Amino acid sequence: MNASETRQNSLQTPVEYLKGVGPRRAESLRGVEIHTLEDLLDFRPRRYLDRSDVRLIRDLNADETVTVMGEVVGKDLVRFGKRRLIIRIYDGTGLLEAVWFNQADIFDRIFQKNQTVALSGKVSRYKYWQLVHPDFDVISEEKEQLNTGQLIPIYPSGQELKDAGVSNYAFRRIISQALQKFAGEIPETLPDYLQKRYRLISRREAYRQMHFPDSTEKLQQVWRRFKYEELFYLQLLIALRKHFYYSPAVGIPIPVEPAQLENRIRSLPFSLTGAQMRVLEEIRQDLAGGQPMNRLVQGDVGSGKTVLALLATQMAIAAGYQGALMAPTEILAQQHFFNIRSLLKDPSLKTALLLGSLPERAKRAVQQRIAEGKVDLVVGTHALIQEAVQFHNLGLAVIDEQHRFGVVQRSELIRKGQTPHVLVMTATPIPRTLALTLYGDLDVSVLDEMPPGRQEIRTFWRSEDRLEKVFAFMRERLAQQERAYVVYPLVEESEKLDLKAATEAYHFLQKEIFPDFRLELLHGRLKMAEKERIMENFKSGATQMLIATTVIEVGVDVPEATVMLIEHADRFGLSQLHQLRGRVGRGEKQSYCILITPADVNEVARERMEVMVKTNDGFVIAEEDLRLRGGGEFFGTRQHGMPDLKYADLVSDRNIIETARKDAFALVEKDPHLRLPEHAGVRRHFKQRFVDKFQMANIA
């Protein structure tokens, strides 16, 4: 074992063997995911107490909001009258009282005499200067102060840590002793040339400054270092995946003559937009190239992605290969299947629909036809990636609404063929920074043009007390032979209650509000045949209004539907609201989206409603959604097989993302196996963090 590997192994020392820990404290530390020395060093402080900003008690004034720090010199638990705890602290210049009502017993266990504590709150005067229910931090149980600077880290130690005696002071003492013993064994993870290029502090110094900062300026250097490192390894993972999964693979060449493609386009019942023609040419070139296509097509709802997928599969089928289109829901898969058949009107094209809900016998029959090559194009859900599905000659895999799937599902469909071409589609526009992280291994095409004749959807936000007027407006539209949706939220945590509310609303609206029109209720628990019947009635006009849950979020295309009413709109995210709104505005008549919320919604919900009213641009909405929700929640990084971000932020750290991406891709181009001496630290860290998880055999 060489010296660098020895150092790396030192960081994997179980935390219970560190001085000051032991079995009991180690158990508590495991409760906050601290198992090793490296986990301990990576445990980021929640905030910092700036001692230079602490006020002396003698200098306080009434009604000021201040932070004071001193030693607990007295404590009284008052049991008569209003139960309360009073502590008195002394800072060498005067006494101050802090008072807590209600949970006095809990606070009584927290505070002990001779502790050093910091209190923050609004100053009032009783017998002494007083803070009522102040925020507090127990700085130490001893007179000793570990930090030599002005900033004291405050850790997010939960109750389980406090119960085991791991206070902030004890935590800092453990880290201090660990750094003293192991600082020399903290390996560097970034190449020397990148550290010098960006003037980044060493990893060893970053850990020391994070836990014992000399100044706020030093802390800024810490965050800069760790953000870059985190994003660099994320982009390195993407760059290596792209290099080893795609670059060496020999693609299936599918040459298509421009004249032949032009004939296919002319056979469509509508003209393609300029954006569609541009992206179609990119797809054509990919298919004809020597490597497998791996392209993401993103465009707003109604921008025409499905027809591009259809034309691409026709190219593959004409060359003798099979095509597969995977959608996240059965209703969307069905929609695609029927749309494709109606668009093509080609009796020679052999299509099949494979859904999880099919009877077992019917499912096996479809699987057999696919394996024997008797199906040219199969449309389906996750059922396509089941082990029983074997393709005869898969040439093109299309994945719709990619954000509903993850990296693993995409890989499973790809493995059904011999390096097939892959076309990924999403109607949820993805902000650039997120596209660079979640889909950095794909080439990206953007459909930024809508078909001609579409009118912009007018969006209104109304409180629940305005519903009567909204219903009157909807009756006017229905009387004009138009159709409407009323959508209710359906979330996992309260699915039964939500479904009950939607069902009750359906009966109320049919009986009391719209008795002259036919309404139907559509939700995910209905059998497939019933869903098909309801949707067919709505398309034909036999039903004028659909009361639905979010099963209609994507894929439902009824040009006569002009009104979308979304109940409890505050319970939806921005991207989901935009997807729902996209179910109307698909014809030439003016369409409307009406968002209904309680009058007293919170500030974040208010911001979402205002964004929806202000813009129909899906890319603007995606950026706002990312800003309001953060990258971790936008789609959920876990389902994409990406590591969680601890330091970096996909909204505010865009420049670092792009810089780290450029550096990571340049490194892989120069040294894809990470074998050069200057990349030894990168190789070691990458192997430890990612190789097993992502089967990066070429780095093992």
Residue burial 14-44, b: 16+ Cβ < 10 Å; e: rest: ebeebeebeeebbebbeeeebebbbbbbbbe
pLDDT of residue 158: 58
Least confident of 57-71, 135-149, 191-205, 490-504: 135-149
pLDDT of residue 361: 92
For the residues 431-436, what does the mean pLDDT come to?
A: 69
CA distance 376 to 322: 5
- What's the chain's Rg over C-alpha atoms? 31
- Contact in structure between 336 and 327 (CB atoms under 8 Å): yes
* Residue 472 confidence (pLDDT) above 80: yes
CA distance 339 to 512: 36
What length does the chain have? 700
Give whichever of 40-49, 270-279, 412-421, 647-656 has the largest mean pLDDT. Answer: 270-279
- Contact in structure between 295 and 283 (CB atoms under 8 Å): yes
pLDDT of residue 636: 46
Helix axis angle, 216-245 to 654-670, nearest 10° = 50
Q: Closest Cα to residue 531, out of 510, 559, 507, 552? A: 552
* Residue 408 confidence (pLDDT) above 70: no
Residue 96 neighbours by CB under 8 Å, 6+ apart: 57, 60, 68, 70, 88, 89, 119, 128, 129, 130, 131
Terminal-to-terminal C-alpha distance of the chain: 16
pLDDT of residue 106: 72
pLDDT of residue 258: 80
CA angle 671, 228, 234 (to 5 degrees): 60
Give whichever of 9-23, 143-157, 488-502 has the largest mean pLDDT. Answer: 9-23
* Residue 149 confidence (pLDDT) above 60: no
Least confident of 19-33, 250-264, 548-562: 548-562
For the residues 261-266, what does the mean pLDDT come to?
A: 87
pLDDT of residue 532: 79
pLDDT band at 495 (very low <50, low <70, confident <90, very high): low
| SS3 assignment, position 425 | strand
pLDDT of residue 637: 42
pLDDT of residue 461: 96
Backbone CA torsion sign across 476, 477, 479, 480: positive
For the residues 130-141, what does the mean pLDDT come to?
A: 79
- Neighbouring C-beta atoms of residue 474, cutoff 10 Å: 24
* Residue 1 confidence (pLDDT) above 50: no
Find the largest Cα–Cα distance for the chain. 94
DSSP code at position 9: H
For the residues 17-36, what does the mean pLDDT come to?
A: 85
* Residue 410 confidence (pLDDT) above 60: yes
* Residue 537 confidence (pLDDT) above 70: yes
pLDDT of residue 147: 45
pLDDT band at 148 (very low <50, low <70, confident <90, very high): very low
- Dihedral over alpha carbons 364, 369, 375, 381 (to 10 degrees): 20
Mean pLDDT of the chain: 84
- Contact in structure between 429 and 621 (CB atoms under 8 Å): yes
* Residue 89 confidence (pLDDT) above 90: yes
Least confident of 41-50, 242-251, 616-625: 242-251
